[in-house]
């Protein structure tokens, strides 16, 4: 008998407890951290949109054994696991679906960075999908 629950979607949250963020130019933004404990299957679904051009972002999963010292900011304890590289790179105003396998480290968060000529009004909105 399969006792797994899921996938259980939950919004990727950002500073101010909002579920979307404007990715201005090539600036990096960090999501709220989340607990990977007991998850067995993982995916990220997200969309990017811009009314003035074509959104272009890089999405990375950073992980740590600790909760961040300062939420929504760069943190020396959070790193992209060896061998994982970029979770996804997207160009275009569209929806994206990305399965991923995190390292066996308790906490994760997204780092979203505008790329190239990313417009200042590009909006990122995402959901975690985790099977427990």
CA separation for the pair 46, 38 (Å, rounded): 23
Position 4 in a domain: no
pLDDT over threshold 80, residue 86: yes
CA separation for the pair 107, 129 (Å, rounded): 15
Which residue would you say has higher pLDDT here, 91 or 5?
91
pLDDT digits (tens, 9 = 90+) for 32-72: 999 988 888 899 999 999 999 999 999 999 999 999 999 99
User: What average pLDDT does this structure show over 102-126?
Assistant: 94
CA-based Rg of the chain, rounded to a whole angstrom?
Answer: 15
Question: Which structural domain range is residue 111 located in?
Answer: 12-122
CA separation for the pair 66, 100 (Å, rounded): 21
**CA geometry: angle 61, 63, 67, nearest 5 deg:** 125
Number of domains in the chain: 1
Position 65 in a domain: yes
Concatenating the DSSP letter of every residue in the chain gives -------EEEE--BTTTBSEEEE-TT-EEEPPPEE-TT--EEEEEEEEE-SSS--EEEEEEEEESS--SSTTS--TT-BPPTTT--SEEEESSEEEEEEE---S-SEEEEEEEE-TT--TTEEEEEEEEEE-
User: What average pLDDT does this structure show over 18-45?
Assistant: 92
pLDDT over threshold 90, residue 25: yes
Residue 6 has a pLDDT of 66
């Amino acid at each position: 008998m399969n006792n797994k629950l899921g996938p259980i979607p939950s919004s990727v949250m950002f500073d101010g407890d909002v579920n979307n963020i404007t990715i201005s130019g090539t600036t990096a933004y960090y999501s709220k951290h989340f607990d990977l404990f007991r998850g067995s299957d993982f995916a990220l679904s997200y969309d990017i949109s811009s009314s003035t051009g074509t959104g272009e972002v890089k999405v990375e999963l950073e992980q740590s054994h600790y909760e961040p010292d300062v939420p929504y900011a760069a943190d020396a304890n959070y790193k992209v696991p060896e061998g994982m590289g970029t979770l996804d790179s997207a160009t275009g105003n569209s929806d994206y679906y990305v399965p991923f396998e995190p390292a066996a480290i308790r906490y994760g968060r997204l780092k979203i960075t505008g790329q190239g000529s990313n417009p200042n009004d590009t909006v990122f909105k995402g959901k975690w999908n985790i099977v427990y």
